[in-house]
Structure 1
Amino acid sequence: MPYTILVTGANRGIGYEAVKLLSQEKPDATILLGSRTTQNGQAAIEKMKTSSPSSDFSNVKVVELDITSSSSLSSAVDLIKSTYSTLDVLINNSGIAELDGDGLSPAIFDVNVRGTKNTIEAFTPILTPKSGIVVFVSSQVGGWYTKAVGPKIQAELLDVQSTTWEKVEGWMADWQKMAEGGKAQGDWVPLDQGMTGSMYFVSKALINPWVRKYAVDHSDARVAIVCPGYCATGMTKFAAPREASMGGASIAWPVLNEFESGKFYQDGKELGFDTGVPK
């Protein structure tokens, strides 16, 4: 069976660039381009062919996938299992910073936190035993947020062994209470602290411990947490110093190189999970 790689949220931005790169670097592999609609996925492939006419991208196939839909996840798993038997690499790239301009939309937690958990758990049963790779696209901003919170919450976020999904749900509910002006138990970063207090930052800080615990509990798979960097994509309104292709290369790096499971990387270099905002 062919080597199979699935990239979620891949019809544009960093995911698109990762698919494009992996298609060229691993021509014998099948690269599955996850997209919420088949039409958008096919349009992405046509864009690749136009931008790089020397490659035909015939090894790229569209998989319709919405990570917030359990039925969509189930259908995608069934399709990949019946067609390819196993999945060698899952790159969970889907994520949002806002919804329709709302930086406090519940959809941010639904996609970035719950969607990540549900996607990784859905595909775990079909990962190739002993050699399967899970790449979770996080962000260095999660480390910035973890560094900025109060000591009690910070200790909880870094206590990987004690992390449970129930704790993650509790953190989200407590943060939401703070965001709505209520009295929270945790010493969260206030919303008025610029971007550091944002829901996007906290979403990455809250899902990182769960993915790290997943890596501990699933020693049969190799797990890389990666940061693409601050790239010029639709999410950043194209106002960022790094090209999207650099982000794509960063999240594809664990597929092409050796790495230590459970660690955090950007451009192949290890990051910390509680590093302060660069001066």
Structure 2
Amino acid sequence: MASDKKIVLITGGNTGLGFEIAKALYQSEIPYEIIIGARTVSKGEDAIATLRKEYPQSASSLSVVQADLDSDASLEKAVETISSQYGRLDALVNNAGASFDNLIQEGKMTLRQGFNATWDLNVSGTHVLTSLAVPLLLKSSDPRVLFITSGTSTLSETEHVNLIRLNASPPAGWPKPKAVISATAYRSSKTGLNMLMREWHRILKNDGVKVWAISPGFLATGLAGVGPEKLKQMGALDPSVGGQFVRDVLQGKRDEDAGKVVRSSGIQPW
């Protein structure tokens, strides 16, 4: 069924930054068909119930689709569902991701397992979903694709210890002491995601699809395995800040920066 509302799919939309993106859109005066992609449908339904309770007067609609970035079959079915219900997709927000560095550090995953799992979910799964969604995006009058990256992904800023605390070098000796936040696999995958964004920008440029990587800032989500309160003590911002920034990009406030990694303060260097 065709809809006059902008149709937006947010992967990982049931929690963390994804939930805040859905919330920011749901609060907007602009009406959206917000599709929350979740690995577990019941968790997506819980997120929808929360939003409807908090904002009963929204002009937007909410639905959930099962979307597991580790499963091609799940992603194929998700796109088929959106196609049958709406016939197009106006925006794909590739938000879902994970960090397994803490599991490597704790010995719960081997180094190879952790790196492969991180890349497979954050990059490969995102690439597969984007590929599947392109035909629906090309049916939109204003198609947009957003890749949620990280401030830790920039190569040129790895020399600046004061800018990103993860850039600090540990003491000499081996093995190295356990870090409060370990992110080698995660930030490596996000650097790869930046290149994936550039490829999709190149591939879809002549189709009129606007593509960005979004660097939302240091947010207090559960992604790092540390816990939101600990992250706030380290200076992390409320995730709602990131949600509102993504909403701004979806609503056209950074159109001149398509093809770049964008921060709220400007362009993130490569």
- 1:35 corresponds to 2:53: no
Mapped partners of 1:231, 1:192: distance in 2: 26
2:187 pairs with one of 188, 192, 201? 201
Shift of 1:247: 1.4
| Alpha-carbon offset, residue 130 of structure 1 | 5.4
Match of 1:119 among 129, 148, 155: 129
Tell me, what secondary structure is at the counterpart of 2:47? Answer: helix
* Residue 5 (str. 1) matches residue 8 (str. 2): yes
Q: CA shift at 1:99, angstroms?
A: 7.0
Once the two structures are TM-superposed, the CA of residue 101 in structure 1 deviates from its matched residue by: 2.5
Say what the alpha-carbon RMSD is for the aligned residues: 2.6
Give the Cα–Cα distance (whole angstroms) in 1 for the partners of residues 10 and 259 of structure 2: 19
* Residue 210 in structure 1 maps to residue 196 in structure 2: yes
Asked whether the 8 Å contact 1:91–1:134 carries over to 2, the reply is yes
Q: Tell me which of 148, 158, 175 is aligned to 1:137.
A: 148
Tell me the distance in 1 between the aligned counterparts of 2:21 and 2:265: 14
1:53: how far off?
4.2
**Which one is further off, 102-111 or 54-63?**
54-63
Q: Does 1:255 align with 2:250?
A: yes
- Secondary structure of 1:43's match? helix
Distance 1:203 1:43, change over 3 A: same
TM-score, with length taken from structure 1: 0.75
Q: Deviations over 1:23-72 (max 9, x none)?
A: 2215522010111121000101122234x245457601111111121001
Deviations 1:229-267 (A, max 9, x none): 111111142113200101111222211124132011122
Of the three residues 222, 226, 231, the one matched with 2:219 is: 231
Q: Quick one: distance in 1 between partners of 2:23 and 2:183?
A: 34
Question: Does structure 2 retain, via aligned residues, the 8 Å contact 1:36–1:66?
Answer: yes
Residues 84 and 192 (structure 1), Cα distance of their counterparts in 2 relative to 1, 3 Å cut = farther
Aligned to 2:98: 96
- Aligned AA (2:200): Y
Tell me the residue number matched to 1:66. Answer: 68
From 18, 22, 26, the equivalent of 1:23 is 26
**TM-score computed with the length of structure 2 as normaliser:** 0.77
The CA deviation string for residues 82-132 of structure 1, in whole angstroms up to 9 with x for no partner, is 110000000000111117733641211111111121121111111035521
Distance of 2:185 and 2:59 partners within structure 1? 37
| Closer/same/farther in 2, CA of residues 53 and 255 from structure 1, 3 Å limit | closer
Where structure 2 has 5 or more consecutive residues not aligned to the other structure, the ranges are 106-110, 160-174
Identity in percent: 28
Pick closer, same or farther for the CA change 1:235–1:57 going to 2, 3 Å.
farther
For the structure 1 residues 269 and 125, does the alpha-carbon distance in structure 2 shift closer, same or farther, using more than 3 Å as the test?
same
Q: Structure 1 residue aligned with 2:50, among 47, 52, 63?
A: 47
Question: Hey, what's the Cα distance between the residues in 1 that align with 2:14 and 2:59?
Answer: 14
> Structure 2: how far apart are the matches of 1:88 and 1:80?
11
**Amino acid paired to 1:11:** N
Give the number of aligned pairs. 231
